[in-house]
Amino acid sequence: MGHPVLRERARPLEVDEISTPRIQRLIDDMFNTMHDSQGIGLAGPQVHESIRLFVAGVDDDDDEGTMAPVVIINPEITQVGSATEEDWEGCLSIPEIRGRVPRAADIRVRAIDRHGKQISMTATGFPARVIQHETDHLDGVLFFDRMESFRSLTFLEEYSRYWSSGDG
């Protein structure tokens, strides 16, 4: 947090660019970085690449929630229905801090995958939260900006001690 790129609107990727070795290697590197950091999502601006691309998800399912690994490029999100949910979020760019963030409960995502193919999917609950958090990074938005109040801001150690056993 503090690097200007995190506050910029990232540029869309051209379809021709996606197949280049640079972008394919970047995607692989981002998955590795995310796994090494035990994150659930990582967006281009977080590795100082101001492009509309993020990776998300984990292979194993003993992590919090479950979400299959995805590569999302140039996403467009629309809310489905009007339900919102508040839950805890953290961010690899804001280490050791958690806070409660309201998000749309159900969304539809249109995007391009790493093969340059148009994809469309719906997501609910935890995966929907992750996708909204990562898409925000592409618009220079951090989860603090979405919080209704800062009263729930919590250091990770205190989160683990007081809050992680339930949704509080």
CA distance 150 to 81: 27
Q: 134 an active-site residue? A: yes
Residue 14 or 145: the one with the smaller Cβ distance to Zn ion is 145
Shortest CB 94 distance to Zn ion, Å: 7
Closest distance to Zn ion from the beta carbon of 44 (Å): 12
Give whichever of 34 and 91 is closer to Zn ion, judged by the CB atom: 91
First to last CA, the chain: 27
- Nearest-CB residue to Zn ion? 91
CA 22 to chain centre: 22
Q: Token pair of 146, please? A: 């979405």
- Min separation Cβ 46 and Zn ion, Å: 6
The two three-digit tokens of residue 21, written as one number: 């070795």
CA 59-63-66 angle, to 5 degrees, is 60
> Of 13 and 101, which CB lies nearer to Zn ion in the complex structure?
101
CA quadruple 99, 154, 4, 92: dihedral, nearest 10 = -80
Which residues are 79's β-sheet partners? 107
Could you say which of 17, 49, 89, 134 is catalytic?
A: 134
Which of 17/26 has CB closer to Zn ion?
26
Give the footprint of Zn ion on this chain (CB under 5 A).
Answer: 91
- Indicate the residue type of 33: T
Contact 134, 54 (CB under 8 A): yes
Catalytically active residues, by annotation: 134
